[in-house]
Amino acid sequence: AQSVAQPEDQVNVAEGNPLTVKCTYSVSGNPYLFWYVQYPNRGLQFLLKYITGDNLVKGSYGFEAEFNKSQTSFHLKKPSALVSDSALYFCASGGGSASKIIFGSGTRLSIRP
């Protein structure tokens, strides 16, 4: 069955430090994986997408995500966090035998100055 899990409700990081937001997925077949960001009182903004090819996907605002097939993970990363990165982040999966994209429960990222 298709599923997406974001195991952390909240991630706290100091500005300038690297950040990781975790995501694991379950899709029969080849997955399509997405990351979105939501700022307060706004819609979701597309960050990046994995289809096939390189396991490291680069996206907007300096974010990247690493696809790991053996661990069925697609963690979002950034080498140096900014206070302005504080927002709600959603992982999503589709592809394979899925009929639609489904979203994880979201992880709130808080970057302290």
Partner 1 sequence: NAGVMQNPRHLVRRRGQEARLRCSPMKGHSHVYWYRQLPEEGLKFMVYLQKENIIDESGMPKERFSAEFPKEGPSILRIQQVVRGDSAAYFCASSPKGTGATDTQYFGPGTRLTVL
Which residues would be at the binding site for partner 1 (CB under 8 A)? 32, 34, 36, 41-46, 49, 51, 90, 94-96, 98-106
Of 80, 85, 112, the residue nearest 16 (C-alpha): 80
Q: How far is the CB of 54 from partner 1 (least distance, A)?
A: 18
Least CB distance to partner 1 at residue 89 (A): 11
* C-beta of 99 vs 113, nearer to partner 1: 99
Give the shortest CB-11-to-partner 1 separation in angstroms. 15
Q: What is the Cα–Cα distance from 80 to 3, expressed in whole angstroms? A: 30
| Smaller CB separation from partner 1, 41 or 70 | 41
Instruction: Say whether 62 sits in a helix, a strand or coil.
Output: helix
d(CA 69, CA 86): 28
Tokens for 2, please give them. 């298709």
